[in-house]
Amino acid sequence: MASLTGKVAWVTGAGSGIGQAAAIALAKEGATVVLTGRRKEPLEETAAAIKQAGGKAVVKTGDLMKAAAVTRIAADIDKKFGRCDILVNNAGLNIVERKWSQLTPAGAEMVIDGNLSSAFYCSTAVLPMMRRHKGGVLIHTSSMAGRQASILSGAAYSAAKHGVVAMSHTINMEECVNGIRSCVVCPGEVATPILDKRPIPITPEERARMAQSEDVGDLIRYVACLPPHIVINEVMINPTWNRGYVANLQRMAEQQKKAKK
């Protein structure tokens, strides 16, 4: 029997990238997966891939930046299944105009709502179901920008992802007595569609060296399959060819070369 047979997992941002990979991985472990995002077609593609592999998936579209939409979807999950054992808070976005000199209130609102508010809404919506069953695991996709502020990622994205990290830790502080576990995943560069919003385009060669969606999806699957007495509070995952490290090494080499002249 698969590790998650009989469990219900709600995956947000499930139409592409890490969310899609996580949903497929959880379904392969036997979980019934509820797929959520704003666009129905990508979610249906994920559902089709799951069902083709013999898994179970349900599509629930909605704008998770709206608290009322989250409440509606969570109520549908509770009514249909009577439980939510796993929440993967993966919905997120970024914008091209991310420097302070470019950022507008509307842009900041979009990034913060898309990455932080949506995660809060979904967490508060599933916790009553988890408390009722004396267990559950919440897994949140943050970022390395959630640990170290990044000009590349932008002020709003860095601030929102820092908030996701803090949110996850406070869930463990309060809900550990209810058997509920929360893990925040902080990926470095992952070859997902969000890279298309980078001000400086990423080449196919660079994408190939990055972590892939399936790598992070498998990590999420691992966390979800841990025994109930264990929680991984926070985990980082990066490509071996870390572009930040490589850039630092190149700068050091250039400085050493100049010093010898």
In our burial notation (b when 16+ CB lie closer than 10 A, e otherwise), range 35-56 reads bbbbeeebbeebbeebeeeebe
Predicted local distance difference test score (pLDDT) of residue 194: 75
pLDDT of residue 201: 81
Provide the CATH number for the domain formed by 8-260 in this structure: 3.40.50.720
Q: For residue 1, is pLDDT > 60?
A: no
Q: Does 204 score more than 70 pLDDT?
A: yes
Residue 245 designated active-site = no
Domain spans of the chain, in order of start: 8-260
pLDDT tier at 169, thresholds 50, 70, 90: very high
2 has a pLDDT exceeding 80: no
Give the tokens for residue 71: 């409440």
pTM above 0.85, yes or no: yes
Q: Tokens representing 46?
A: 């994920």
Mean pLDDT of the chain: 95
**What does the pLDDT look like over 236-253, one tens digit per residue?**
999 998 988 888 899 999
What is the mean predicted confidence (pLDDT) over 147-176? 97
Q: Which of the four pLDDT bands, split at 50, 70 and 90, describes residue 192?
A: confident
